[in-house]
Structure 1
């Protein structure tokens, strides 16, 4: 079976504000403005991945959600608990400096992790977490392969 991710949805409080951030601060390309009835959304793509779309959508785009559900979604967005995207970059520090210079809200300055990854994080205007990561030169190979033995947790019996 062969497949790849082509689209994901990110809930945002203010579509125009989110669009400005992703387009003007991050340099994303607008693919489509769409909508029906009173709901609208925008599809955007990272510059290096034109075939991958991120749909920026308001909480009311969740069809069948009650007003209480929509309110809960809005609360989760505001707390940074609902949306999280991770982007790979060739230079975490340069990416951090460029985005920070726009006044974007910094969540984490660039740091090295024990697994050989350097990353930083920002919040978009709705509170969604955006991480920017790049491997460091001493990154261990942690990929699983078909020959990697599966780890089985110890029995609790």
Structure 2
């Protein structure tokens, strides 16, 4: 029976959770995730986790921070002047916003703190700094 190798396109059902058991994503009730192994379409630990699986195989993988979204970076936390915030926006701690850099690339930030003159924005990925656990089921190798 064929096993997954680099270059294969696969379809996988998954349930992703933090090490404390909190679910952060799942394909339940949706189509399985489809990606090409080795193409960098998913995090490295997820890609490595499907290698050598056969259709119908199920397993649980543990992905350390360095093979997931990396550690939290202080460089991704910035103070943004309140005077530059649109007047109709009332930021609250935890609120997710979209910003764009000078090159026009759009990225997500989260309001981390609100001060008198600045709001602190965190542009780290929401799962940065976290070890992840995935339950996988290989549905198809194309």
TM-score (norm 2): 0.21
| Higher strand fraction (1 or 2) | 2
| Higher helix fraction (1 or 2) | 1
Higher RCO (CA 8 Å, separation ≥ 6 residues): 2
TM-score (norm 1): 0.20
